Chain A
Amino acid sequence: MSVVTQASAASARDAAPEREWRPPSYWPFVIPALVVVLAVIIFPWVFTIWMSLNEWKVGSPITFVGLANYLRLPADPRFVEAVEHTLLYTALSVLLPLVFGTLAAIVFHQKFAARGFLRGIFIMPMMATPVAIALVWTMMFHPQLGVLNYLLSLVGLPPQLWVFNPTTVIPSLVLVETWQWTPLVMLIVLGGLAAIPTEPYESAQIDGANFWQVFRFITLPLIMPFLFIAGMIRMIDAVKSFDIIFAITQGGPGSASETINVYLYSVAFVYYDLGYGSAIAVVFFLLIIALAALLLYLRKRMLWTTELGAGA
């Protein structure tokens, strides 16, 4: 729109008799960015959608099949299960880091000795390479030789199978994810806490509010926007999570921890079924957008109610 108005304004100015119309001079400067966007964003997407409309197997001729690849999805039990696993995995690995990260932020917001040093220690998991920590956790999860079962035995609990049992595998993987990403949430929330003014706390003190009431009615609403940001980042990361799951279980035992991403990898690069894999990728992308939109919508509603609450 603005381009059009600028162009018409320019032509009006150039209406002077001796000056003929020239194309706007900014065009050449836009081209590099345009080329990059086309090459790395638009083209891959159009090509993926094109592939998803074809029966495209490495080593076989390519045939156009329309929406057949998409119609296979609901009838494919592995895909349906993968969607369920992804949603469960995502829900847990968004909620747990949010809860623990908020608690940690509140703790680290207090003033105590060696706070900076301890904060540094606390955010170390975030800096480690996921595949490396996955290998370490794999060893710790080992039912016979792992340290986790030894720790359980110290407090008198029976040994667990961790990632080697279909019912406990997802919670066990979420444990790793939580361990690694709680510090990120902590950092974001800590930033939020630092920005809260002190006046509400002072008036709460005068009104005789206890710790829980202060947290529930002052701190939590004020850090809510930060929690939403953290939740959004965590959600996008958790949905796409691949490295930890692949390195620890490869989607097993059986297919009990196979998320969409892990299944997508198998279809495209182990079964070489690029057409079907692309269809999964497209649906997966839509799912991520839908989840992000849902969070944005919730955030808007929440902000409105907090403003209303503040006004009342």
Chain B
Amino acid sequence: MSHHLISRRQMLAGTAAAGAVGLTGFPAYAEVNWKKYAGTTLEVILAKGPRGDNLQKYIKEFTELTGIQVESEQIPEQQQRQKAVIELASGKPSFDVIHLSYHVQKRQFEKAGWLADISGYMKDPTLTAPDLVESDFSAAGLEYAKNDKGQMLSLPWSVDYFILYYNKELFQKKGVAVPKTLDEMVTAAEKLTDTKAGIYGFVGRGLRNANMTLWTNFYLDYGGEFLDDKGNILTDGPEAIAATKLYQALLTKVAPPGVAGFNWMESMASFTQGRSAMWIDGVGWAPPLEDPAASRVVGKVGYTVVPAGPKGQYSATYGDGIGIAAASKNKEAAYLLCQWVVSKKQGARLLQAGGGVPFRNSILNDPEVQQGVKMPKEWLQSVIDSAKISKLGLPVVIPVAEFRDIVGAAITSTLSGADPATELKKAHEQFRPILERSEKA
């Protein structure tokens, strides 16, 4: 019965719209039919964090809009990746929609064919709102979402730029200017370090694997590229050695003791306690830094782009996307959800809370959205400036985890005095066969 009612209502709407077409010339039949998949239930697997929170907090609005029920679970990042891969490999994943980390999973997912191609949906006006167009996503986002054949396999959700956080109070006390280049940053860090007071000039990730995201930012600034035309890895060249020397100098001379075991969490602890004057990491940490319950440096934090190196200035970029499992039986409904997740409204909420940065320029550059950002203006500026110098922060290969573990271990070992060139060479001798094996298979 209700089915008949809906179709009758649609008929009426259609008739009205047809009349409107005659008057305005707009193709009103192109309206997205949000209610078409009402009654469907979707399963979503999310990585724990502000993106997942943002989805779950407002999911009722999506259900109201579409009549689609959504069951989602947030799992800590590492475990979520493992669970997703194992389920996808089984061919019968328990989820329709998956939150993926591009910088780790892009090539792996493409090669295994686990994601549904959504290029067709994006061209279908009954499925896609007119404001969602490819060109609205930043270049990094499209690079992540598209495969070699140019098919869209996911929608870019949130981008992570590396920025420089600094403690304004400590800078003022020592009369140090905000560094514009990496060399200036080293000098500044030396001036700011006061071991007797337990204050250090710089803090950043030293832990194996995690450290690669920071190291690659230096590597890019020294002019490094990850792969040559034939797909050979280049991260043991002269640029890599120079970047490692800088990394070694910073983390051994002007960083807190034990930094070799620090991930972002320990680094953040040191920074929020006012024990470290500078910290380079992802853009998403502004909310905890500005939270009086968690931070002693509220209102004293400066935000700016990562300083320039001798061969350029880049912000190492990482990102998340949302895609549809190729094995899902509810692909169209799932697509509606993905679209809602990256919609202007949801993107604006994410940005305004400081929980992430949408890949869509129309959101980031909208003055009204910017007005509502609850984080300091400087933070937003650092995001906008970083977007201009954005460059992917990890090689796009299948064995990303091996790359991060093996080269990351080499770089960590330089913190206890090992020679950068020797360590990098050794690590790459180990990594090259792994890369060859997985790319050619």
Contacts and interface: CB of A to CB of B under 8 A. Distances in A.
Nearest to B90: A58
A144 interface: yes
Interface string B246-283: 00000000001111111000100110010100000000
A60 B111 CA distance: 8
A249 interface: yes
B85 A266 contact: no
Contact of B206 (A61, A162, A253, A266): A253
B108 interface: yes
A144 B275 contact: yes
Task: Pick from B109, B260, B437 the residue with the most CB of A within 10 Å.
Answer: B260
A66 to B, nearest CB: 16
A164 B269 contact: no
Interface string B193-222: 000001000000011100000000000000
A249 B261 contact: yes
Contacts of A251: 208
Nearest to A161: B258
A150 B264 CA distance: 24
A57 B208 CA distance: 23
B432 to A, nearest CB: 13
A159 B257 contact: yes
A61 B112 CA distance: 9
A145 interface: yes
A252 interface: yes
B101 to A, nearest CB: 13
Contacts, number: 98
Interface in B84-128: 85-86, 88-89, 108-109, 111-112, 114
Given A270-B401, A271-B402, A142 B409 contact: no
Nearest to B260: A253
Nearest to B276: A144
Contact of B207 (A78, A143, A252): A252
A153 B275 CA distance: 19
A interface SS class = loop
A10 B275 CA distance: 84
A251 B409 CA distance: 10
A59 interface: yes
A208 interface: no
A167 B82 CA distance: 31
Contacts of A60: 111-112, 438, 441
Interface string B364-407: 00000000000000000000000000000000000101100110
Given A59-B108, A164-B261, A253 B207 contact: yes
Nearest to B256: A144
Interface in B171-212: 198, 206-208
B413 interface: yes
Contact of B82 (A57, A76, A254, A270): A270
Contacts of B78: 270
A271 B207 contact: no
A213 interface: no
B24 interface: no
A177 interface: no
Contacts of B261: 163-164, 249, 252-253
Contacts of B269: 145
A166 interface: yes
B85 A272 contact: yes
Nearest to A169: B261
Interface in A147-186: 159, 161-167
B438 A252 contact: no
Interface in B109-150: 109, 111-112, 114
B8 to A, nearest CB: 48
Nearest to A143: B258
B208 A166 contact: no
Contacts of A269: 82
Contact of A143 (B257, B401, B410): B257
Interface residues of A, number: 33
Contacts of A163: 261
Interface string A265-278: 01001111000000
Interface string A259-297: 000000010011110000000000000000000000000
Nearest to A81: B409
Nearest to B441: A60
B430 interface: yes
B416 interface: yes
Given A55-B441, A144-B258, A271 B399 contact: yes
Given A59-B108, A166-B416, A272-B85, A144 B208 contact: no
B136 to A, nearest CB: 31
Interface string B406-441: 100110110110000000001000100000011001
A77 interface: yes
B275 A164 contact: no
Interface string A70-112: 0000001110000000000000000000000000000000000
B257 A57 contact: no
A255 interface: yes
A254 B409 contact: yes
B258 A165 contact: yes
Contacts of B207: 250, 252-253
Contacts of B108: 59, 272
Given A57-B441, A58-B85, A164-B260, A266 B270 contact: no
Contacts of B406: 78
A166 B207 CA distance: 12
Contact of B111 (A59, A145, A159, A252): A59
Nearest to B418: A254
Contacts of A58: 85-86, 89, 112
Contacts of A254: 208, 260, 409-410, 412-413, 416
Which 4 A-B pairs rank lowest in CB-CB distance, beginning with the nearest?
A: A59-B112, A164-B258, A143-B258, A164-B261
9 contacts: A58-B89, A59-B112, A143-B257, A163-B261, A251-B208, A253-B206, A266-B401, A271-B399, A271-B401
Given A59-B85, A144-B198, 15 more contacts: A57-B441, A58-B89, A59-B89, A78-B430, A144-B256, A249-B261, A250-B207, A252-B207, A252-B261, A253-B207, A254-B409, A255-B208, A266-B401, A269-B82, A270-B82
